[in-house]
């Protein structure tokens, strides 16, 4: 199948499940319009959803916190957060992730592994019945399974540069939709779940949110979000395309943004 068809959004039935198609539609549902532009550095978060994406231009976004306080501004690297959105690469990366995480522990028993006697059940001739040499064959009850699954790896290979471009596309899509929020940090006063629940409820048009911190996760934050099915927490090293697609809003700390930019700028080891 040509890449041009996949780039236009055509995803063949054999390549993905219905859930993956719905995730892809939700990620790329917005159609941005063209605003006024000033120089090479674009304006802040509220204009991200109304400007054309994929210009490789640095973006200035507002920095806030859980209490929606103004904490200044931050520049998002254009080669990470404003790249052309490649739906075909996002699809390939998600397929790679889902295939790689399959356990592959399925197993069936062959004729040499099932329990049973090895004696010939009846004479070859003279009984009027079909000839058999073992009761462990697949045609008998409690017999073997022929050509059944065995433990194996379902992982497929995908180039590192394709994985990197898929992550950049997902980050750029969230930025273009105005669904990328930058916090100064994730410091909270208490580990109570109701505190985080009230903070998330104050966010505009948020159904499921992914919190990404720089290094280790704050223990208070981890405890506060444990019982909220619509709030998940990841360190920056664990940020991936599939989790970005599963959440409609992405909240990152300044440290997490710096870590991701450093990760994207690191040369690929051949």
Could you tell me the residue ranges of all domains in the chain?
18-101+157-265, 108-148
Please tell me the predicted confidence (pLDDT) of residue 23.
55
- What is the rounded average pLDDT for all residues in the chain? 85
CATH code assigned to 18-101+157-265: 3.40.1370.10
CA-CA distance, 262 to 40, in Å (whole number)?
21
Q: How confident is the model at residue 213 (pLDDT cuts 50, 70, 90)?
A: very high
The pLDDT tens digits for 231-261 are 999 999 999 999 999 999 999 999 999 999 9
The pLDDT tens digits for 186-206 are 999 899 999 999 999 988 889
Token pair listed for 219: 């223990």
Please tell me the predicted confidence (pLDDT) of residue 16.
45
CB 97 within 8 A of CB 23: no
Q: How confident is the model at residue 20 (pLDDT cuts 50, 70, 90)?
A: low
For residue 162, the cross-strand partners are: none
The pLDDT tens digits for 132-175 are 999 999 999 999 999 999 999 999 999 999 999 999 999 999 99
Please tell me the predicted confidence (pLDDT) of residue 156.
95
Collapsed DSSP state (helix, strand, coil) of residue 61: strand
CA-CA distance, 62 to 45, in Å (whole number)?
6
The pLDDT tens digits for 86-142 are 999 999 999 999 999 999 999 999 999 999 998 999 999 999 999 999 999 999 999
Question: What pTM, to 2 d.p., does this model score?
Answer: 0.77
């Amino acid at each position: 199948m040509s890449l041009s068809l996949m780039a236009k959004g055509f995803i063949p039935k054999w390549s993905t499940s219905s859930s993956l198609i719905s995730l892809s539609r939700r990620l790329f549902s917005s159609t941005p319009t063209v605003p006024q532009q000033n120089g090479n550095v674009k304006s802040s978060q509220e204009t991200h959803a109304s400007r054309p994406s994929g210009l490789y231009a640095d973006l200035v976004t507002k920095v806030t916190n859980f209490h929606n306080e103004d904490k200044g501004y931050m520049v998002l690297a254009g080669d990470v957060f404003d790249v052309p959105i490649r739906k075909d690469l996002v699809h390939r990366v998600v397929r790679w992730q889902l295939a790689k995480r399959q356990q592959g522990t399925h197993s069936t028993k062959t004729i040499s592994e099932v329990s049973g006697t090895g004696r010939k059940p009846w004479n070859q001739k003279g009984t009027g019945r079909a000839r058999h040499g073992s009761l462990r064959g697949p045609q008998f009850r409690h017999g073997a399974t022929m050509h059944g699954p065995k433990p194996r790896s379902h992982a497929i290979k995908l180039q590192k540069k394709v994985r990197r471009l898929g992550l950049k596309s997902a980050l750029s899509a969230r930025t273009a939709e105005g669904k990328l929020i930058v916090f100064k940090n994730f410091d909270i006063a208490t580990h109570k779940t109701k505190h985080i629940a009230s903070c998330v409820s104050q966010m505009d048009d948020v159904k499921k949110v992914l919190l990404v911190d720089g290094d280790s996760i704050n223990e208070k934050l981890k405890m506060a979000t444990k019982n909220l099915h619509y709030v998940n927490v990841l360190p920056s090293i664990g940020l991936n395309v599939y989790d970005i697609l599963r959440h409609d809003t992405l909240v990152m700390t300044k440290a997490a943004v710096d870590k991701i930019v450093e990760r994207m700028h690191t040369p690929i080891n051949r």
